[in-house]
Amino acid sequence: MTAPRVRVGIGGWTFEPWRGTFYPPGLPHQRELHHASRVLTAIEVNGTFYSTFTPATYGRWRDETPDGFVFTLKAHRSITVRRELAGAGDAIARFLGSGVSELGPKLGPIVWQFQPTKRFEPADFEAFLALLPSSVDGLALRHVLEVRHASFADPAYLALARRHGCVTVHTDSPKYLQLEDAQAPFAYLRLMRSESDQPTGYAPAALDAWAAGARAWSSGPQARDAFVFFINGAKERAPAAAQALLQRLGSEALAPS
């Protein structure tokens, strides 16, 4: 069993304002993933929420990135943007059967993102969680739930998520529900308050605090993995924020060689 660690990254790797700043001037677009994966330790893929990718694409991502790097994937919206979640079985099977297992050990958690208008309906939500498999093609899966409606601020929801081995997203965004679950098997943070006037997106004191929290989570007798993504706000600052957090964490979150 590998020791718990913190992985830090950004959402996607294609964003025009990153060219010439995060990416060296003149770097070919097809080399951007190669570059990002050698200075960060994870990427959350947003494109899988909107499009279906092929096994060959997942295989190419696997081969372009170093050992130890991780992709987390947002599940396709056809699964979560629906009135009754209990009927999502076929859509779940299509998404997980589209080739995600080609990532092999580089497959991180699957993120199931729900609309801010989606309320917590216990019976329907439990039926949905029961549909989530523990593995695909022999590869163990970890599931993350991004719930945003205030009705999920209910102890019954967290108990249900734990019962099915699912982790709830924690965000710092004031626009969305902020839930913390100290009993979760790992932590998944989506940080969304970067500011353009901060060179590293967040003020140094804020990054110090996030680093201390991630370090506490991934060490000690209850050490668990943590995933931290700088996603929104001043998105042009996301790579700098991620790199600044990695620097603070040092050996706890070494970039892959």
**DSSP designation for 168:** E
**DSSP designation for 52:** P
Q: How far apart are CA 235 and CA 191, in angstroms?
A: 11
Q: What is the reported pLDDT for 257?
A: 47
CATH of domain 6-253: 3.20.20.410
Query: What tokens does 22 get?
Result: 């995060």
Show the low-confidence residues of the chain (pLDDT under 70): 1-2, 251-257
Q: How far apart are CA 157 and CA 201, in angstroms?
A: 32
Q: What is the reported pLDDT for 222?
A: 87
Residue ranges per domain, the chain?
Answer: 6-253
What does pTM read for this prediction? 0.95
Q: How far apart are CA 61 and CA 56, in angstroms?
A: 9
